Amino acid sequence: MPSRARVTLTRESVLDAAAELVRRHGPAALTMRRLAAELGTAVTSIYWHVGGREALLDALVERTMTGLGEIRPSGRTPEHRVVSIASSLRRQLRGHPHLVALVHERGLTERMFLPAQQALVREAHAAGLRGARAAEFVRAVQFQVVGHVLVERNRERAPAQNPGEAELWRAGTAGDDPALARALARPVDTERLFETTVRALVRCLLTARGTGPAGHGTVRGR
Amino acid sequence: MPSRARVTLTRESVLDAAAELVRRHGPAALTMRRLAAELGTAVTSIYWHVGGREALLDALVERTMTGLGEIRPSGRTPEHRVVSIASSLRRQLRGHPHLVALVHERGLTERMFLPAQQALVREAHAAGLRGARAAEFVRAVQFQVVGHVLVERNRERAPAQNPGEAELWRAGTAGDDPALARALARPVDTERLFETTVRALVRCLLTARGTGPAGHGTVRGR
DNA sequence: ACCTGAACACCGTTCAAGT
DNA sequence: ACCTGAACACCGTTCAAGT
């Protein structure tokens, strides 16, 4: 009260500072001591407001995730609308690159997809899928989108692979298909790849007619 | 020389001990000090043989990866063979659960797929795909398999989601489809999901006829 | 060529003590 | 109710010194 050189410390202000630290320098830069320095307080004050580092990260992930915004499907057919849901989620996650790492580290990748699930269920229903079939469709899209984002983010921060695709496909390993070798030596256009694969997956799963999902494994599913 | 209470320290023996530590207690347990204790040497000796922690992890990932074993496609059609390649890679990676985390942390997920690329290229050719189309196919499968493994491994070590799918789909949020709600509240059968999605993706990409991969721009794909 | 301990600059967390 | 510094038990890495 007397000095007021700083904003009064609250749970919110701690989370703000933490989020800013992560945004600017990545998750590794978020140490309790550095955060305290940024806030101009003693390290131990943070423990009073948000608990330890684990709790802090939990709260941070939670807050960022709820702020991600609505999923608004667009397009006329279910196929287009599902692709738009997937693209929209991907775009949102790419807008918070460090969040993806944070969420992954904390074993919460599944949570990243929860807000999109309802939207997907609606599209599955619109496409005539119900029950377990619809559930499988939702899960398939979920795994593919989240998985793609994880791989994409990962490769973005790994500039020099060793040995990378470029070297692997320089020699005559391509079975007399130089165009293929050239294509594989080039960096991936991940956005295009994302749309292509999601579209292919959706098309196949939504139009799969007949006796349910393709049989699998040793006996015969369902 | 005089005491010889321990095996002579070599680069190999250091890597052995490190791999064992990771296998038994996870990557977080691999600290230089603990490793030294395990080996019965001074911490600094490790630096002479393998360099710092980064170099150690690099070497560890490298060694484990080369020991993963061959990819042996089985099945009569390209579709079956591609699915078998994907399943085989997934199985190998699941046999080294900590490796996946290690590789991901180090931004090397792409490397996990390199040994499988050649096999996939052969199948793409056998299916009549060439050049950029074949490359896109390989990449699509790559992203999907690696992405799936990442998501799968991630959800395995996140026992209690909060709020999880179970809670989300308990209420009447399923649009009068109780079977769907029940299915989404249940844990995922990831193996089945993996096979279904890979099969769907492969089928769609291998049989896509016409003018090349689906258009992707802002306007309207194909 | 190989190994050592001491030292440095960091961590997260606890706890008794202040106001 | 809120904040503090001291202390504890850890980290990875460097470096001069040993043999």
C1' of D14 to CA of B196 (Å) = 53
* All domains in chain A, ordered by first residue: 11-66 (1.10.10.60), 70-207 (1.10.357)
Residue B37 pLDDT = 96
* First-residue to last-residue Cα distance in chain A: 69
Are the C-beta atoms of A153 and A194 separated by less than 8 Å?
no
Asked if A151 lies within 8 A of B151 by C-beta distance, the reply is no
**A80-94, B74-88, B110-124: least confident range:** B110-124
Mean pLDDT of chain B: 86
Instruction: Tell me the mean pLDDT in the region B184-206.
Output: 93
| Band of residue A39 on the pLDDT scale cut at 50, 70, 90 | very high
Report the distance separating Cα B20 and Cα B13, nearest Å: 11
Amino acid at A42: A
State how far the Cα of A184 lies from the Cα of B189, in Å rounded to an integer. 33
A217 contacts in chain B (CB < 8 Å): 191-192, 195
Model confidence over B31-74: pLDDT tens digits? 999 999 999 999 999 999 999 999 999 999 999 988 888 889 99
Q: Which chain B residues are closer than 8 Å to A146 by Cβ?
A: 147, 151
Residues 6+ apart with CB under 8 A from B33: B43
pLDDT in tens, B106-144: 888 888 888 899 899 999 999 999 999 999 999 999 999
Partner-chain residue, chosen from B155, B168, B208, that has the shortest CB–CB distance to A109: B155
What's the predicted TM-score (pTM) here? Answer: 0.88
